[in-house]
Amino acid sequence: MSFLHRHRNLTPYLLLAPGLLYLGIFFVVPLGFLLHQSLQSGNFDVGYAFTWAWGNYWDAIRGYRGHFIRSFEYAAIATVLALLFSYPLAYWIAFRGGRWKNLLLLFIVAPFFVTYLIRTLAWETILADQGPVVRVLRDIGILGQDGRLLATSFAVVAGITYNFLPFMALPIYVSLEQMDGRLIEAAQDLYASKWKAFVRVTLPLSLPGVVAGTLLTFIPAAGDFINAQLLGSPRNHMIGNVIQSKFLELTDYPAAAAMSFVLMAVILLMVALYARAVGTEKLTG
């Protein structure tokens, strides 16, 4: 007690300490290992040696450029789709939900009660060639007689959109929910129609939620491999699939580690550009 009194300015750091320690041990240290590994050469049988093998990075970029681009494409499309579905949903719950609000929020979170893998497997069944969706789409002529949904980029993007929707909807809901409803009345009082009031007041004030939601969706989606694996064909594989197979199947650890770093670097760059474009104050509200 007296120690803390004398060193009052230490208190915030002491409070931060457990979190920092955790991050240090379970994030920074493994990241260091990974970085070390990415510069090794050799193979599983003869062993790996640290050789400043920068070539691993070059190979990752040159050999898998298509996978990287596809990852960001899928992640971007899924993020935009999730935003388009989530915003009206969050808006409706926040402003029209009334006493059902909490129940409706529970419905959004409900899929989390089932593990990610099982949920995605469920989609495999839904989109299967013998499944009801394909049959109906074939009957009404949207799909050809041998058209399919499974093993297409559509299925992968749909899966990602579905799996990350709550991460988009919840932050948007929070930013809308905490908005003072009188601001909309004030806008209408100042001659703004409902639509104008939305564009000029509601939308800008919900941007912190939109920004948080897009980041929470885009970042994990870009590194995802489950959806591509279960719902796509090898033509739809993303960089996550490559990293996963290099690590677990081909045991080419240095190449996998280098790819992970390239992925991380590109995502960081994109997030930085995005934050700059929308303004950092939107991130903190």
Q: Which residues bind another protein (CB under 8 A)?
A: 180, 182-183, 185-193, 196-197, 200-201, 204-205
How near is the Cβ of 85 to another protein at its closest, in Å?
25
* Under 8 Å between Cβ of 253 and 247: yes
Residue (139 or 180) nearer to another protein, CB: 180
Give the whole-angstrom CA distance, residue 54 versus residue 258: 9
Instruction: State the Cα–Cα distance between residues 40 and 62, nearest whole angstrom.
Output: 18
Please, how many CA atoms are within 13 Å of residue 130, restricted to the half-sphere of its CB? Answer: 0
Q: What is the smallest separation between the CB atom of 189 and another protein, expressed in angstroms?
A: 5
Between 4 and 190, CB nearer to another protein: 190
Nearer Cβ to another protein (32/204): 204
- C-beta separation of 212 from 283 below 8 A: yes
How far is Cα of residue 261 from the mean position of the Cα atoms in its chain? Answer: 17
Full DSSP string of 219-252: HHHHT--HHHHHHS-GGG--HHHHHHHHHHTS--
Q: Which backbone phi and psi does 40 adopt, to 5 degrees?
A: -95, 165
Q: Which CB, 183 or 268, lies closer to another protein? A: 183
Pull the structure tokens for residue 212: 């948080």
Q: Would you call 111 exposed, middle or buried from its count of C-beta atoms within 10 A (0-12, 13-18, 19+)?
A: middle
Nearer residue to another protein within complex by CB, 208 or 254: 208
We find the least distance from the C-beta atom of residue 285 to another protein, in angstroms, to be: 10
Residue whose CB is less far from another protein, 187 or 230: 187
What's the distance, CA 114 to chain centroid?
18
